[in-house]
């Protein structure tokens, strides 16, 4: 009996602790709680990505004994059959899936974040894990970073959903998962943080930085325990040897901008002209990759081994240009047709090939140009920055990959020139935003008010000074309602709630009216039309309900196993306005 009582008390205490933890997370002021979430997000993201990467590399090592990226070692027929077979398996999987379970990749994460408060499902996580692994193993042209971002964001979102955290904290968790994914994929935690803020969350906040930083560090450390802390690329010591490089850097930025804009435009064309059945699109993408890989095997897979060769200056000019063009075409077609694979890796490969080719052309004109690796690394950063429209993330990635601060000045120039030329010269949007637009989602439509209100949940600003009362009360019951000195009375009518009125109005009616019963729906009062909202919702969701529903107040409910829709607070439009202007 005593043991049972102790267990129940312990369970009750734990329940109060987790409820306090959730309540603290309703605003971004809860730095310690968000720090804990950041560490947990990084840990789980690191473990999932570690499992994903080990699976892919172990199978590839079995298929390609000379190295997991060495598709060039396969016979020509094998190079054609492997991507084709992989595409057929993927086509079968996607054909059997329901429409809502086919969403994968960064565009799916952005859609769930900005339209569904960051709620990602287990089914889509499993689909991304399996299809992403098959795509990489079968040599489809793409990177592992796209699947990694989806996996990290999903694991982090599911952590928040399992703990039943408010929606504003789930948004933060998705940023944490994305940062940990990029950090652990490239051994670049700083670039992961900036990428998450610049591309996924689409805003910078001081409070939001801390958990994202902790997640990126934790996720990177987890993966380093197996794969070490060496950068993904073997980069020789590089620096700008002469100021005569500056005109060439300027021109390289323009050339890279043309490639980035071309990649995005070709992707859109492929998407718009693609056949409708998903299976046909996947098979078509696989056949294109197989056909191009039959002729140019360097485009198969992630392609980082080819980047390392370009950094050493060991690839002839015509081969560099051939790889650059075929990789760009294959990547655009794969992305446009919906292959479940990443696009950051291909942008680095395309940029590296273009940079290497540009160096060879420049070196024939002048002997005062820096080493080939210098132009290769600038091309990688410029292509990533221009395609993603994320210049700061690209710059941080170059700094961490090279571990050389001398790259900063020329990298800033090349990346900025490429970004400006692509965006304003060719009208190119971020490739992720373009993918979202192809799904009917305009990420540029979110204004500063919406972003600001998404940082806090309704629980942080709701009033708890209210009481629930039946619509009809006798005088004794009415006086009892006022004993707790509430500010608001939530009027119950049948199974629902009818309206909201000030307690002062009932108090005035008791004093002015000489009657035994009171109808709260008819006494002289300033009644407010109301709508329901859950305590987990953000202030942005509340603002949207008030704006579209034509109501003057919201009653906040907490759903529990024992008591459905228990009102816990009242939220008024002025509460939202006060938060926004504070």
Can you give the pLDDT at residue 12? 40
How many CB atoms within 10 Å of residue 59? Answer: 16
User: Rounded to whole angstroms, how far apart are CA atoms 320 and 328?
Assistant: 12
Element containing residue 554 per DSSP (H, E): strand 553-558
User: Do 257 and 418 form a contact (C-beta atoms < 8 A)?
Assistant: yes
Element containing residue 408 per DSSP (H, E): helix 408-420
Please enumerate in sequence order all residues whose Cβ is within 8 A of that of 530, keeping only pairs 6 or more positions apart, or say none. Answer: 490, 497, 498, 499, 500, 551, 552, 553, 554, 555
DSSP string, 468-486: EEESEEEHHHHHHHHHT--
Q: Could you give all domains of the chain from N- to C-terminal order, each with its CATH number?
A: 23-232 (1.10.3080.10), 245-448 (1.10.3080.10), 456-581 (3.10.580.10)
User: 451 in the Ramachandran plot: left (φ > 0), alpha (ψ -120 to 50) or beta?
Assistant: alpha
Per-residue confidence in pLDDT tens, the chain, 582 aa: 545 645 554 554 544 577 788 888 887 778 889 999 999 999 999 999 999 999 999 999 999 887 788 898 899 999 999 999 999 999 999 999 999 999 999 999 999 998 888 999 999 999 999 999 999 999 999 999 999 999 999 999 999 999 999 999 999 999 999 999 999 998 999 999 999 999 998 887 777 889 999 999 999 999 999 998 887 777 777 777 778 889 999 999 999 999 999 999 999 999 999 888 999 999 999 999 999 999 999 999 998 889 999 998 889 999 999 999 999 999 999 999 999 999 999 999 999 999 999 999 888 887 778 888 899 999 999 999 999 999 999 999 999 888 888 889 999 999 999 999 999 999 999 999 999 888 877 776 667 788 889 889 999 999 999 999 999 999 999 999 999 999 999 999 877 899 999 999 999 999 888 888 999 989 999 999 999 999 999 999 999 999 988 899 999 998 765 567 789 999 999 999 999 987
Can you give the pLDDT at residue 7? 56
User: Which of 159, 350, 129 has the alpha carbon at shortest distance from 260?
Assistant: 350
- Three-state DSSP at 389 gives coil
Can you give the pLDDT at residue 563? 60
User: Rounded to whole angstroms, how far apart are CA atoms 67 and 572?
Assistant: 62
DSSP label at residue 100: G
User: Do 255 and 353 form a contact (C-beta atoms < 8 A)?
Assistant: no
Can you give the pLDDT at residue 313? 86
| Planar angle of CA 139, 142, 143, nearest 5 degrees | 110
User: Which of 34, 35, 18, 46 has the alpha carbon at shortest distance from 168?
Assistant: 34
Scored b (16 or more CB within 10 A) or e, 416-455 reads bbbbebbbeeeebbbbbbbbbbbeeeebeeeeeeebbbbb
């Amino acid at each position: 009996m005593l043991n049972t009582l102790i267990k129940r008390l312990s369970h009750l205490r734990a329940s109060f602790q987790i409820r306090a933890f959730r309540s603290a997370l309703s605003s971004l002021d809860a730095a310690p709680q968000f720090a804990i979430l950041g560490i947990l997000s990084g840990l789980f993201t690191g473990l999932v990505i570690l499992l994903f990467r080990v699976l892919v590399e172990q199978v590839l090592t079995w298929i390609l004994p000379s190295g997991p990226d060495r598709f060039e070692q396969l016979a020509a027929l094998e190079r054609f059959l492997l991507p084709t077979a992989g595409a057929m398996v993927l086509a079968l999987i996607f054909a059997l899936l329901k429409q809502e379970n086919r969403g994968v990749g960064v565009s799916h994460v952005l859609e769930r974040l900005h339209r569904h408060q960051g709620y990602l499902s287990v089914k889509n996580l499993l689909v991304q894990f399996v299809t992403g692994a098959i795509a990489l193993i079968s040599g489809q042209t793409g990177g592992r970073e796209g699947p990694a971002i989806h996996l990290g964001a999903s694991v982090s979102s599911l952590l928040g959903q399992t703990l039943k955290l408010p929606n504003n904290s789930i948004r933060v968790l998705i940023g944490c998962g994305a940062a940990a994914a990029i950090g652990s994929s490239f051994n670049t935690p700083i670039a992961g943080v900036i990428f998450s803020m610049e591309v996924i969350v689409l805003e910078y906040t001081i409070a939001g930085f801390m958990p994202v930083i902790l997640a990126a560090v934790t996720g990177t450390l987890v993966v380093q325990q197996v794969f070490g802390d060496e950068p993904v690329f073997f980069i020789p010591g590089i620096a700008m040897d002469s100021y005569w490089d500056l005109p060439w850097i300027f021109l390289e930025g323009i050339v890279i901008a043309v490639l980035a804009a071309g990649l995005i435009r070709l992707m859109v064309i492929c998407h718009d002209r693609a056949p409708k059945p998903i299976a046909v699109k996947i098979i078509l993408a696989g056949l294109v990759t197989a056909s191009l890989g039959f002729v140019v095997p360097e485009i198969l897979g992630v392609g980082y081994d080819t980047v390392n060769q370009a950094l050493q200056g060991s690839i002839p000019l015509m081969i560099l240009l051939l790889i650059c063009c075929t990789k760009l075409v294959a990547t655009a077609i794969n992305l446009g047709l919906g292959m479940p694979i990443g696009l950051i890796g291909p942008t680095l490969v395309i940029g590296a090939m273009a940079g290497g080719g540009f160096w060879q052309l420049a070196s024939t004109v002048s002997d005062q140009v820096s080493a080939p690796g210098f132009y290769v690394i600038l091309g990688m950063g410029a292509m990533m920055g221009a395609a993603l429209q994320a210049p700061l993330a690209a710059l941080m990635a170059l700094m961490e990959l090279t571990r050389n601060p001398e790259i900063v000045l020329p990298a800033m120039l090349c990346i900025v020139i490429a970004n400006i030329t692509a965006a304003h010269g060719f009208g190119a949007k971020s490739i992720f935003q373009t993918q979202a637009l192809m799904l009917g989602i305009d990420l540029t439509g979110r204004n500063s008010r919406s972003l600001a209100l998404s940082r806090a949940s309704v629980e942080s600003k709701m009033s708890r000074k209210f009481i629930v009362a039946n619509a009809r009360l006798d005088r004794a019951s009415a006086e009892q309602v006022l004993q707790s000195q509430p500010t608001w009375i939530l009027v119950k009518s049948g199974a629902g709630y009818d309206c909201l009125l000030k307690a002062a109005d009932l108090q005035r009616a008791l004093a002015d009216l000489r009657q035994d019963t009171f109808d709260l729906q008819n006494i002289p009062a300033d009644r407010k039309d109301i709508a329901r909202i859950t305590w987990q919702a953000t202030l942005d969701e509340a603002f949207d309900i008030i704006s579209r529903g034509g109501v003057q107040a919201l009653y906040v409910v907490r759903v529990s196993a024992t008591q459905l829709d228990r009102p816990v607070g009242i939220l008024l439009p002025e509460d939202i306005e006060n938060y926004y202007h504070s």
